[in-house]
Amino acid sequence: MKRTIGLLLIALLASGCDRYIESEDMSFPPPEEPPLPVSLKITHLPDVIRLDWQATDTITGMRFRVYHADSLDGAYSLLGTASDFTYATGSLSSGQRYYFKISSVTPEGLEGKMSSAVSTIVGVVSAVINGGDKYTNSRDVTISFVVPLPALLMQVAEDESFAGAHWENFSVSKLFRLSAGDGTKSVYARFRFNDGSETDSAAAVSDSIILDTHARIDSVYFVPSGIALAKDSTVKFYLTTDETDGSAAVSFPGVSSLALVFDEAASDTLIGRCVYSIEYVIPGNIEAVDAPLLGRFTDAAGNVAMPVTSSELLNISNPPTPVTLVAVAESASGIRLNWSQSIDNDFAAYQIYRSITEDVSNTSSPIAIISSKSTLTFVDGGLDESTEYYYRIYVYDKTGLWAPSNVASAETYINEPPHAVTLSGRIDGGEVTLSWTAGSDEDFESYRMYRAADSTVAISQIAPLEIISSKLQTTASDSPSAGTYYYNVAVFDLQGKWTPSNWIEIIVP
C-alpha cells in the first residue's frame, strides 16, 4: 500500500511592511491595535497543508484571517478564517509556490497588520519499494524516493515514529533490509530540505510490501479417483497450498504441464486453504498406467515449492488404434495374413481370429497370439481346399482394452493331386536301390515307398516301407530275400492327396 502526500516546501521569507497612522490630536484615544501573528509555520499532512502561528498578545474573541498570493509582492487574497492559532486547507495546486500571511481581527472587527510572509511549494513526495511490487522473497529491497526540491538528509525506518532511526545523506534510491519474518512490511521516510524545512513525522511517506520467503504444496489430487479414465472422460485436478496469487500446474504421462487456476469457491483463505483447480477432458492420445499426478507451485513472490505427487495413481486407458488386415490364399491349405503395425505405446499383443462366416470375432479362441509389435505376417495352414475363411486381428493393450481390424477373407485353392514321379531301380549284391525324379508340387508332404508281390495290388491296401519327408531325397534302398518284387513311390501333398509312380519289377537272386 502506498501513501503519497502533497508536500508544500516551506521557505520562510521575511517581508517587511511599515504601517503607521499620521494623526492630529484627537479628542478620544485610538483603539488598541490587534496583536501581530508571529512564528508562522507550515506543516505538511497527507491530504492538507496546515498553518500554525502564535500572537504577540491575546484578546478574548479574537479571530484570524489567512491570506495567500502567488508571489511575495503579489496581491494577497483571503483564503479563509480561523478562530484558533491553526488553519488547514487542501485546495492548493500541486507544483505551485504559495505565499501566506496571517492577520488578527478583534471582536469589534478591527483587523491588524499582516504577519511576515512564509512560502512553500506544493509537490509530490513518495517512497516506492521494489518498483511497486506487491511481494518480495528477499529481505533486501530497493526503495526509490521522489521529492520536488533537493533534499539534504533523510530518515528511513519500519517504525512510524522513527525511533532509533538516524539522519543520512539523501539519495534517490536506497537498499534497505526488512525485518525478519514473513508478512506485510511498511517502510516510512521523511526528509530535510536545503531551505531548512522538513517533513513532519506524522506526515511521513510510506510504502508496503509483503515479505514471503517460502512456498509449499499441501496436497495434489483428482476427482474421480479409483477408476480408469478414457477418452472424453472429465476429470478435475486439484492442488492446495496456503497462498493466493500463485502459479500452479500438474503433469502426468502425456501432459508435461497443465495450468491450474485459483478456485475461490473451494478455498477458505481465513484458515489458509487456497485451492487451485482445472476441469480437464481426456483427449484420445493419452495413456497412463498407475501414474502419479505431479503438482508444482510457484507463489507470487517467486518462491518455488517442492513438487508433490498424488497419493492416488492415475489410469487413463483408451482402446488401441485398429490395424488394417489383408488375407491372401497361398495354396489349397494355406492363407497368408498381412497387417499394418500398431502405433500404440502400450501394445500387448495381436490376437488372430478365424471363422467360416463373416461375423468373426474374439468370442472364440484365437488361432494365434503374437506379442511382437513388429511381426506383421502370419500363415494359417492346414486348411480345407476350396474354402473361404474370414479373419480379424484384435490389437490388445496392456490394460486389456482391444480394437478389432477390418474383416479380411480369402479362399483356398482347389487341390489337384500331386504330379507323379518316375521310378527306376537296380539290384546290386542282393540290395535293391531305388531312385526317382524329384516332386514338383509346392504342397509336397512326403514320398512313400511301397513293395508288393504283384503290380495289381492296391497301394492303399499295403503299408509303406519308408516315408521320406524331404522333397530333395530321391533315393532309397531295400534288402529283401530272394524273389520277384514290385516297387512304387507315391507323392503325397499336405492335404493328403497322392499320386503313385510307375511300377518297376526287381528280381532278387
Q: Does residue 136 or residue 56 have the better pLDDT?
A: 136
Tell me: domain 1-210, CATH 2.60.40.420, correct? no
Q: What is the CATH number of domain 423-508?
A: 2.60.40.10
Confidence class of residue 42 from pLDDT cuts 50, 70 and 90?
A: confident
**Model confidence at 30, in pLDDT bands (50, 70, 90)?**
low
- Between 13-17, 115-119, 121-125, 453-457, the lowest mean confidence (pLDDT) is in 13-17
Nearest to 391 by CA among 321, 324, 319, 320: 324
CB neighbour class for 209 (10 Å; exposed up to 12, middle 13-18, buried from 19): buried
- Predicted TM-score (pTM) of the model is 0.54
pLDDT of 142-200, one tens digit each?
999 998 788 999 999 999 999 989 999 999 999 999 999 999 999 999 999 987 788 87
Confidence of residue 47 (pLDDT cuts 50, 70, 90): low
- 325-411: CATH number: 2.60.40.10
**67, 114 contact by CB (below 8 A):** yes
Lowest pLDDT segment from 80-94, 189-203, 317-331: 189-203
Average the pLDDT over each of 61-70, 119-128, 267-276, 386-395 and give the range with the smallest value: 119-128
19 has pLDDT over 60 = no
Res 140: pLDDT: 97
In sequence order, which residues have a C-beta less than 8 Å from that of residue 45 and are 6 or more positions away? 5, 88, 200, 202, 203
Full DSSP string of 85-139: SEEEE--PPTT-EEEEEEEEE-TT--EEEEPPPEEEEEEEEEEEEGGG-SEESSS
pLDDT of residue 401: 87
**pLDDT value of position 29:** 61
17 against 323, higher pLDDT: 323
- Which is higher by pLDDT, 304 or 382? 304
Q: Does residue 90 have a pLDDT over 90?
A: no
Mean pLDDT of 61-72: 94
Query: pLDDT at position 508, please?
Result: 93
What residues does CATH 2.60.40.10 cover in the chain?
A: 1-210, 219-316, 325-411, 423-508
Which single residue is written with the C-alpha cell 480369402? 410
Q: How far apart (Å, rounded) are the C-alpha atoms in residues 449 and 459?
A: 10
Asked if pLDDT for residue 31 goes beyond 90, the answer is no
The fold of the 219-316 domain, in CATH, is Immunoglobulin-like (2.60.40)
Q: Residue written as cell 520562510?
A: 12
Average pLDDT rounded to a whole number, residues 476-489: 95
pLDDT at residue 101, rounded to an integer = 95
